[in-house]
Amino acid sequence: MKRFLLALFCIFMAASLFADPDFAAMLRKVDALVTFNDSDFSAQYTIDQIKPGEGKDSTVAAIFRRDKEQKYLIMVLQPQTDRGKGYLKIEDNFWLYDPISRAFTFTSSKERFQNSNARNSDFTRSTFATDYTITATHREQLGKFDCWVLDLKAVSDSVSFAITKLWISDDNLVRKKEDYSLSGQILRTTAIPAYQQVGGHYVPISMIILDNLSGRVVNGTFVNDRTVITITKPSLEHLPDALFSKAYLEKFAR
């Protein structure tokens, strides 16, 4: 009997070792690791838009997030010509502030940020688990990372991309992401080689977003346009409530 129970235990252990994980739970973990529901978050983002053969355009922005209330504020610090421009999101409302016309216009989280390959949604909390459903999974080696590859399909039309593919390492961090159009055309590829730990959460050190459709042939090789986002000065310090307001953007621009 003891032998039988031992054999049963071994079979169970072996089965659980080779069984697929709960991917929905994995997505929730992915979201939880990069979302700051228990504190505010702020950091400085440097966004370099690189066009092969044309040099790069740099934008430095301060980003303030209060994920639990679905609020975030982006203030452009550089270049000087765009200084004072701001993005404010409060729940489903999203405004762009132009300091020259001193006017707010409605924008969308699907829009490109400062004409780069980044979307406004790239700067906010992660919501893969609620926005997408998993359509396929497989295991893949991505450089030094053992990853699960999850094919996702949007469950609502509120997201920037209808189809997304995630490479998730065993520590539940997204290492690579491919975004597709509704008809399945690859549009951009994002690589996140390293993260920095902030409190119990993670923030990328840098992200490289490749535009799969735009680029130029340089020295006989096709080089894609790309955006490199570097995140510095991450902080979990409490932010004043007044920060997430139109008035604050107007005041900052002055």
Partner 1 sequence: MDSTFRIALRNLFRQKTRYRVLAIAIAFGCAIITIVYGSLGGMRQSLEDKAKIYYGGDFNILGNRYQQDYLIYDPPELMEALESLPGHPVRVSPRIDYRSNVFLSFGGNSVHLRMVTGVSWEREERNFRSFNYVSGGPEGMAGSNGILISAPVAQMLGARVGDDLLLLIDTTTGQRNSATLVLRGIYKDSSMFGYYTSYMDIDFLRATIRGVPGSATYVGGYYQGNGRLAYPLTRLQTTLEKSFPMFPLATTKSDMFSMKGSSSWTGVKYSLMGLNAHIAQINQVVQVMTLLLLALAALLVATVILGVVNTYRVVVFERTREIGTMRAIGMQRPMVVRLFLFEAGMLAIAASIVGVAVGIGALILLSTINFSWLPGFDVFLANGHIAWAMAPGEILSVAALMLIAALAAASGPAARAASIEPVQACSMES
Summarize as ranges the residues that interact with partner 1 (CB under 8 A): 108, 110, 154, 157-162, 181-183, 185, 187, 213-217, 222, 224
The CB-of-89 to partner 1 minimum distance in angstroms stands at 15
Which residues are bridge partners to 197 per DSSP?
A: 202
Closest to partner 1 by CB, 172 or 227: 227
The CB-of-153 to partner 1 minimum distance in angstroms stands at 11
The CB-of-189 to partner 1 minimum distance in angstroms stands at 15
The CB-of-166 to partner 1 minimum distance in angstroms stands at 17
The CB-of-105 to partner 1 minimum distance in angstroms stands at 15
Closest to partner 1 by CB, 28 or 110: 110
Closest to partner 1 by CB, 46 or 127: 127
Residue 29 makes CB contacts below 8 A (sequence gap 6+) with 172
Closest to partner 1 by CB, 6 or 182: 182
Written as six digits, the tokens of 39 are 């504190």
Closest to partner 1 by CB, 40 or 131: 131
The CB-of-70 to partner 1 minimum distance in angstroms stands at 18
* For residue 79, cis peptide bond before it (omega within 30 degrees of 0): yes
- CA atoms within a 13 Å half-sphere pointing along the CA-CB vector of 175: 17
Closest to partner 1 by CB, 159 or 173: 159
